[in-house]
Chains A and B, each alone.
Chain A
Amino acid sequence: MKTTLLAAGLFALATSAMAETPVLTVLTYDSFIPEWGPGPLIEAGFEATCACDLQFVAAGDGAAILARLKLEGAGTDVDVVLGLDTSLTADATATGLFAPVQPAPNSLPVAFADPNFLPFDWGWFAMVYDNTKLTTPPTSFEELAASDLKILIQDPRSSTPGLGLVMWVKAAYGERAPEIWEALADNIVTVTPGWTEAYSMFLSGEADMVLSYTTSPAYHLIAEADVSKSAALFSEGHYLQIEVAGKLAASDAPALADAFLTYLASDAAQGVLITTNWMYPAKTPQAGLPAGFETLIQPATSLLFAPAEAESLRAGAIAEWQAALSK
């Protein structure tokens, strides 16, 4: 009896809430939603304009988001997905779960046109180092491989930056990628399952360089007034990570989803993302980038495989990486 009453009460609550405000469910990655992440500010900003309830649901990282969508299939309650990157979009498109979106102007360093996804931020992968200990950083993978510098990287099988690095070497060296990996093998201290382990091990002095983003030094500079971190500029160019958002075809609030994607490209939302996600905005706000960003390296060449190509190369590139490092 008690449980029936409770269930009835909960149901009443749920329906009354539904009747009052429409709910927009956004599936994103873990680090988007904490108090200090972009989530709360984006939520407050959007709810002020939409008369709706924006709810974030988090699942690990970009790969976990996609895995979860596949598990849920067409029955998903998610309206918007936020946090896939271009190495996952081909796979995501193939699920048929996504609806086309209205293209919007962006300030990416490469041309970007995906009918199903809109970019919301981006960054270049880079090897980050401590400039008080390393004064002349290598300027290419080959120079790095020839040096006796120690580096920390992430595993492409479990981490997005790890996969980005494998694609970077593949994009820069093509057929020569295995050779580069073999040359790098003695520089690699270890391969971590995720970015968190590698970056914190780097900060505690376990290696000279760590795979991260060109924007990583901006955090230390702006949030901690620490100028000791720099990213090394590689002459072969830097691989891009473009983070995108998309709308589910089965969404029961498609108009609200569109409104959210539009809000995401606005100056207000883009401004929030720069200093919470520590990435470049997909569209630079009118106010420009925060002070400190001008100190970051600016790669002349941006490398990026088209989504379909990235998808077809991925398994082979990971196998090459694994074979070269297992010798």
Chain B
Amino acid sequence: MLTLEALRLTQDDFTLTADWSAPEGAHLALIGPSGAGKTSLLMAIAGFFTPSAGRILWQGRDLADLTPGERPVTILFQDQNLFPHLTIAQNLILGLSPDMKVTDPIRAKVEAALERVGLGGMGARKPAQLSGGQQGRAALARALLRARPMLLLDEPFAALGPGLRAEMLDLLGEVADETGALVILVSHEPRDAQRFAVHTSVVADGLASALVPTAELFANPPKALSGYLG
């Protein structure tokens, strides 16, 4: 269970508070206008943003002392998810073996993960030789290999067309189900949330609201959301 306990994020004149928890394996979305603090909240959970107050707990354990690499988290950024000078396979190996030691079992797992996301046989390519969608798949394959209990995504498919996005969200769902991860998807696209997330938190006006079922939310949008949806 992920718990945001009286969490407060502050930077310059920006503040965001959150106070809710989500069970293991949940599929969540954070939606809201840009600049509202969706990404900051994600970065705080991943360990890149130190909260000014409150705690972030995973299974009751405070994450404050853990470095980003030690947290039970895999994160996909908006871009720069792959090192351009390493091959796709090497990029994936980093998910299993942070010192890049390659053993036969690791190689087999990497190849299997690539197959799983539809990139079979492309391990030797460099990221620049892949399309945007394929790069997203490679990043998901690494998430699959890392199999951390939380998977955070910061608009990773923002650059893809609607068809491809839907495809990637479905793949994300499959990956999440296989690893049993709690997924938090940040998106400014309400349809992403509707397609993927069971529960959603609306981030607006300095508050990340308590989780509500996504379907309910869109059927009966609160004021903060309706303003955003327009």
Direct A–B contact in the complex, CB atoms closer than 8 angstroms: no
